Amino acid sequence: MIKIYRCAFVITALLFVITKGVSQQNTNPNLPKGYYIVVAAYFSNQESFAQRYSDQLNAGGLHTKYGLGPNRKLYFVYLDQYDDFDESVRQMLKVRKEGVFDRAWVRIIKEGGEKDAPLTTSKEEPAQHTNSVSAKVDATAPVQKVSEEAPKTVEEKKADSSPLVVTEVIENPIAKPVYLPQTLNNTQVFLSLYNAATNQVIDGEVEVVDTEKAKLITKVKGNTYLTLPNPGTKSGQLSLIADVFGFRKEQHEINYKNTETDTLKPYVALVGNYYMLNFGLARLHKGDISTLYNVYFYNDAAIMLPDSKYQLNSLLQLFSENPNLKAVLHGHTNGNSRGKIIYMGPSKDFFTLTKDVVQSSGTAKELSLARANVIREWLLAQGIADNRVTVKGWGGTRMIHDKNSVHARKNIRVDVEVIDE
């Protein structure tokens, strides 16, 4: 499922569906120093969408422009530019009250960096991220289940080779007073996990680590608005690690106490009343290994539990995205004892202990090999060529935890090693 978020960073999917026939506009590639009343923002590879939105607004009688911020690598669609900060805030508040762009904000572009202006601490005018469009194009209502994709121009296909189909909307956080300074103690974050090659949103978790003590604090769900925990250390440093099956790990650093300074980093943006942290994840490459920790087996069996289907689909997608990819599936067990082994029967049910299962006995190495092989058979049943997947069984010779520890269950696993791409 592709999730599209109701913030201007990825509002492109909505505009993509509802906008037709636009005129050309000259691009200002880099915005000069100043204070901008901004109504939308787009990733650096989505200039055509910024242009399209600006043209759409201008067709309705406005005079908007767009340009590229120097550090964020984002295109901003803006109504006007000012040299005086106070004047820009006054005009921004006036624009909001007019109702068409009730979520406009001031973007500060300065030498060496850019940031969102801390606009207010009052309850009457909370700063927030925009999701407004012109009176002719209403994007303030939630988008839900748009199943058809509008035709793309040649330029758009170059900017984004994957189809964007809106299937779900996640609302922006409720506007609240903005406190100064904005830290992780008083400001939520949005952890954006996406495929760096296709821009498709990825479901996954992010590990929150106390950097000073090198200690895991908690795991949180990506692509949600949340408040990060206080590490309680002098430095206040947090390490955020996105570890999603089929992708290389991505680690970002952020400071709990002095977060505003981190907006100079390319992956952190202050968007009114929340921070956005972007995790552009890269697919596994030759030599990389990722573990199928969420593929489970019945006891003593080379038959998978139904809960395994979700991660199996992620594995299938890994193969489907790259037709040249080849991998070895490494099976592992918890210990090296010999015992009963239950094999899948002639009915070829990968997820049920059917009446025709075959019971035998064998070594831990044989069990681990059989478990890796049943995953291979499942992939072949989904249409993956047999020469792209091989298997190895290691038994308990490569355990990562003591077989009697509380983490011993993690010894029972199948690793995926990419050997060609």
Q: Is there a single domain that holds both residue 13 and residue 64?
A: yes
Calpha distance 224→227 (Å, rounded): 10
Are the CB atoms for 116 and 181 separated by under 8 Å? no
Instruction: Please list the residues that pair with 326 across neighbouring strands.
Output: 420
**How many domains, in total, are found in the chain?**
3
Strands 274-281 and 289-291: unpaired
Give the DSSP letter of residue 308: G
Report the C-alpha gap between 319 and 10 in whole angstroms: 27
Which CATH number covers residue 246? 2.60.40.1120
The verdict on 332 and 375 lying in the same domain is yes
Q: What is residue 406's predicted lDDT score, i.e. its pLDDT?
A: 86
- Token digits for 23? 């005129």
Residue that terminates a domain, selected from 144, 174, 204: 174
Nearest to 133 by CA among 92, 96, 169, 101: 101
Q: Based on the domain organization, do 26 and 51 belong to the same domain?
A: yes
Contact 316, 380 (CB under 8 A): no
Same domain, 247 and 318: no
Residues 130 and 193 reside in one and the same domain: no
Contact status, residue 200 vs residue 320, Cβ threshold 8 Å:
no
Rounded Cα gap, residues 6 and 103, in angstroms: 13
Helices (H) and strands (E) in the chain, counts: 6, 21
Flag residues of the chain having pLDDT under 50.
1-27, 112-168
Same-domain pairing of 135 and 170: yes
Q: Which of 159, 174, 189 is the last residue of a domain?
A: 174
Q: Using CA atoms, how far apart are residues 294 and 416, in angstroms rounded to an integer? A: 13
Q: Are residues 122 and 17 in the same domain?
A: yes
Contact 388, 327 (CB under 8 A): yes
18 plus 129 within the same structural domain: yes
Find the DSSP H helices in 259-358: 309-321
Angle in degrees, 0-180, between the axes of helices 309-321 and 364-381, rounded to the nearest 10: 60
- Name the phi and psi angles at 216, rounded to 5: -70, 125
CA neighbor of 379 nearest in space, from 315, 334, 303: 315
Contact 342, 358 (CB under 8 A): yes
Which pLDDT score is estimated for 342?
Answer: 96
**Residues 321 and 256 placed together within one structural domain of the fold:** no
Would you list the DSSP string of 75-115? EEEEEEEES-HHHHHHHHHHHHHHSTTTT-EEEEEETTEEE
Q: Which domain holds residue 154?
A: 1-174
Q: Which amino acid is at 165?
A: V
Q: Element (H or E) spanning 380, and its range? A: helix 364-381
Tokens in use for 148?
């058809």
Q: What is the pTM of this model?
A: 0.59
Identify any residues that bridge with 420 across adjacent strands, giving them in sequence order: 326
CATH of the domain at 306: 3.30.1330.60
Considering the domain architecture, whether residues 250 and 344 belong to the same structural domain is answered as no
Q: Are residues 127 and 205 in the same domain?
A: no
Q: What tokens appear for 7 in the block?
A: 């913030």
Residues 169 and 38 in one domain: yes
Domain boundary residue among 283, 305, 320?
283
Determine the Cα–Cα distance for residues 66 and 157; give it in Å rounded to an integer.
20
